[in-house]
Chains A and B, each alone.
Chain A
Amino acid sequence: MQRILLFLYSLRVFLIFIGLEVLAIWLIFSYNSPQGAVFFNSSNYFAGSVLQARDGVTGYFTLGAANEALAEKNAELLSRLSVTMQPADSAYLEIDSVLASQYEFRSAKVINNSIRLNQNHITLNKGRKHGVREGMGVFNEQGVVGRVKGVTENFSSVISLLHTELLISSKVKSSSVFGSTKWDGKNTRKAKLLYVPRHVMLSEGDTVVTSGYNAVFPEGIMIGIVDEVTKGAETNYLDITIDLSTEFSRLTYVYLVENPLEEELDSLYQMSGVQNE
């Protein structure tokens, strides 16, 4: 017995090394999956407030671009508003309230962002207190940005579209063919559109938007433009590359969208045994 203990003692450095590595690898696998539970990330209170202080300084350097983008969005919204404003002489019919209020929007500011790794994350300055929930969709005036992964009281962390495990349900605007957008980890301006069958006719320049199927994003938010279509090597699907419309290197302000009916949809899917990607 004593010799076994002595033997183990002589191996102590190696054993502690193995222990620490196993702990680290356990952390990697339990906290880095897109839907994994979150506490030790940049949305926790300490890291979040430090990052926000830094953003208070660096935010001034991008004020010009941010103002321009917001002004553009405002102009677009105003033009839409003028269409929906009811002229005084027409009759007005109330639409069903379920249709009218399916999505809720909030705005937030990006305080931390990465684009160079394979699993990129974004931190926002809004948290549970401001109504952010896990699973909300994130986009800006250019297009889709990502999906909320973890929320704390004041901050939230978002899986960027530039994350090799995030799938976004999408469709081609002109033909309504649907597929899933996924980043392949190579170029921050390009992504792949998966699961489009071979018989579909697509041309370069077609617009890809969100499909609205998985209830995270409303239908029709811009994702990108088809850049290249080739026959995939061995699968039944086309190999489609799209140019992402969002410039991830210059994110400043983003919008969060919540579908209050998502829970109902999810339970419906569960009840009927439907698998959604």
Chain B
Amino acid sequence: MNSRSFILAILGFFAYMAVQAFVLKNVVLFGSAFAFLYVIYILIFPLEIKTIPLMLVSFLLGFSIDIFYDSLGMHTASLVLVAFLRKSWLNVHTPTGGFDDNTDPTVLNMGFGWFLTYALPLILVHHLAFFYIDNLGTDLYIPVIMKAVSSAAFTFILGVIVQMLFYKKKRGI
């Protein structure tokens, strides 16, 4: 990881956190579709990062978002779960010929079809974990699944739009 991508990663951390805490916290479609855009930040983190640093990053990110949501631990637990699963899921999903060096697994670099099958299940895992914890002790299982599925779709669409607008395609050699 060179210094430029390191600085970009730190800036991204704060940008995603701020957008989540100040804008997307108030965006809830139809009372059930939440936008947890910060999951995208962990999903498209550069490929060369190892799982342990990634889990630490997601712990920090989840913790800072929890402070603004007054839900200490909930976002943290579900985001660390995503970070843990990412490596194995990427191994399953390696395109033929492997990844290029230093690419980020974004929709621009990898194509829409690949990104859909890569990101959507992980987003769904995160949302199921989050809403399960949020509803712990109640018996609202149907609403949990409704919320998780609709939020996953919303988060995914928003994530793709953000990448189209703010990310650049890595140039081939």
Contact = CB atoms under 8 A, between A and B. Distances in A.
Interface of A: 12-14, 16-17, 20-21, 23-29, 31-32, 40-42, 44, 47, 51, 54, 112, 114, 116-119, 121, 123, 157, 164-165, 184-186, 188
A27 B72 CA distance: 6
30 contacts: A13-B52, A13-B55, A16-B55, A17-B51, A17-B84, A20-B56, A21-B81, A24-B77, A24-B80, A27-B76, A28-B74, A28-B133, A31-B72, A32-B72, A40-B63, A40-B66, A40-B67, A41-B70, A41-B72, A42-B67, A44-B67, A47-B68, A112-B68, A117-B134, A118-B135, A118-B140, A121-B70, A165-B137, A185-B138, A186-B140
Interface size of B as a range: 35 or more
A117 B87 CA distance: 30
B156 interface: no
A185 B73 contact: no
A27 B80 contact: no
Contacts of B140: 118, 185-186
Nearest to A27: B73
Nearest to A36: B72
Interface string B37-51: 000000000000001
B45 to A, nearest CB: 16
B141 to A, nearest CB: 12
Contacts of B55: 13, 16-17, 20
Contacts of B22: 54
Interface of B is mostly: helix
A28 B69 contact: no
B25 interface: yes
A24 B62 contact: yes
A60 B59 CA distance: 35
Given A13-B52, A26-B73, A42-B70, A118 B134 contact: yes
Given A28-B74, A54-B22, A164-B138, A20 B80 contact: yes
Nearest to B33: A116
Nearest to A188: B31
Nearest 7 CB-CB pairs, A to B? A27-B73, A28-B73, A24-B77, A121-B70, A24-B76, A31-B72, A17-B84
B31 A116 contact: yes
A235 B143 CA distance: 24
A146 B55 CA distance: 36
Nearest to B135: A118
B118 interface: no
Contacts of B32: 116
Nearest to B84: A17
Contacts of B66: 27, 40
A122 to B, nearest CB: 9
A116 B135 CA distance: 12
Contact of A185 (B68, B84, B135): B135
A114 B77 contact: no
A114 B69 contact: yes
B5 interface: no
Given A17-B84, A24-B59, A54-B22, A32 B138 contact: no
B71 interface: yes
Contacts of B56: 20
B115 interface: no
B59 A20 contact: yes
A46 B68 CA distance: 10
Given A20-B59, A116-B34, A185-B138, A28 B70 contact: no
Given A25-B77, A185-B140, A114 B31 contact: no
